[in-house]
Structure 1
Amino acid sequence: MSSAGAIHRLVVFGDACASGTLGIDAKRRMRSAMYESFGEAYAAIGVEPGHVHQEDRGDGILAALRPDVPPTLMVGRWIDTLYECLREHNAGRDPRLRLRVGMNAGLVLDDGEGLVGRAVDLACRLCDSAAAKDVMARATDADLLVVVSGWLYDNVVAEGGRYVEPAHYRPARVRAKETDETAWFHIPRRPAPPLPDTPGGEPPGTRAGAPGAAPTGGGPTTGGGPPPRTTEEPPPGRSYRAGGDLQVFERNTIRGGFTGIRKDRDGGERA
């Protein structure tokens, strides 16, 4: 499919937690509250219905904003209003409406049947990732989890702004299908989300915007932003530097330039 006509848009995918456990009537109420909460959040930042393309996904909503909608409003006031709507709706209710929201930006095409593009794929995968589901399983009293792509964090969230809380985001690795992305997780009004302790995860402070961060970027494969800034990093294992060369010992394999010294039987040495 040609990308002609695709435009850069902010993509949002929201999904209700544990919706499969609900009966028909409870699911109808859940969907009504979800759409109402999204609508109030759009209204809070002045986004009219014609400024957002929205698709029903059963127990979720896929949306793409028009390019003229400032992304700072979406990661700021929109998130804050959505959180307040959920908190108000859930007061005294059981079960509660709890949402995971994935956010990304990149080229999006409306082919007449719906929204397509890598930016859309990534937003959905961030929302549906095992890490996102694990965070909500740990934070049982949280009504909203926001997961943004690395590009969106670096270029929008990290810049700050009203209602934007970059210091309260934490990074973790998301791997699913073709996706291998450092995403940023945020539960509104909390200093940090309870991230899973997995080998694939990244500890807090390993990316731009966090203490001791090392920058990386998004790129065409993630559906957003310019090509990634790459740095040469050794694979897992023991590494040593000698004479300006880096040697990496990975199990029984030695990587990197090196000079070997072998002793002869008479005690002499040869390079």
Structure 2
Amino acid sequence: MEVLKVNHVSIKYVTGDLKSIGLKEYVMRKLKNDYHTTEFWADKDINFSLEKGDMLGIIGTNGAGKSTLLKAISGIMVPSEGWVKREGKIAALLELASGFDGDLTVKENAYLRGALLGYTRKFMDETYEDIIQFAELKEFEERPFKQLSSGMKSRLAFSIASMVKPDILILDEVLSVGDGAFRKKSEAKMKEIINGGATTILVSHSLGQVRSMCNKILWLHKGKQVTFGSDVKRICDEYRAFLDGKKRFS
């Protein structure tokens, strides 16, 4: 059953000098036809579909358009062209350290983050102990959040987000949070969710993770789709050759 369809999606950013010149000057320049904008296509004509239980690895160098595409898939952004069709509940682990209040305690922030993700108070009451134990932060729960290290903050965010049972799960470099031991635990947690039937999208710079966990792969380069398919090993090998300078694109 098709769970996700990305149909010829393109995402355009338009930049100008409104922020630097102010509203009054902007109006004057518009009247004089002296206001300039620049268009930048972060993603151009991306096209693929996933079925229930698929795990897609998205690869590409920095600036390839990976994170922008995830925002369109998760519904945070609306494509400039094309459309995205989703079936079921979606959970996105993007920008893990954002959305917290440094002056609140770790426990208060857990509830705050849960509310932002749409969790009910009842759900948080029932799962809080599991969340704090998984994040390995039990002894820190009454401390101000700002006292945590960046890795500890990411562990809490990962733990909160991974407690749901989504139909579509989006992971943006989140399996690299924490130290080696926690990384293994987070990978095991994701495999548990995936084995439960979730359709998963993983953005990772680790080709080892993509090779071992994904059955489909999407390669992006400067916003364009290089290839999409199920031959994960071959495409990873081609991407490695590109990184090593043995394969080039214009």
Query: Is the structural similarity TM-score above 0.5?
Result: no
Greater RCO structure (CA 8 Å; 6+ sep): 2
Q: TM-score, normalised by structure 2?
A: 0.27
Kindly indicate which of the two structures has a greater share of residues assigned to helix. 2
Q: TM-score, normalised by structure 1?
A: 0.25
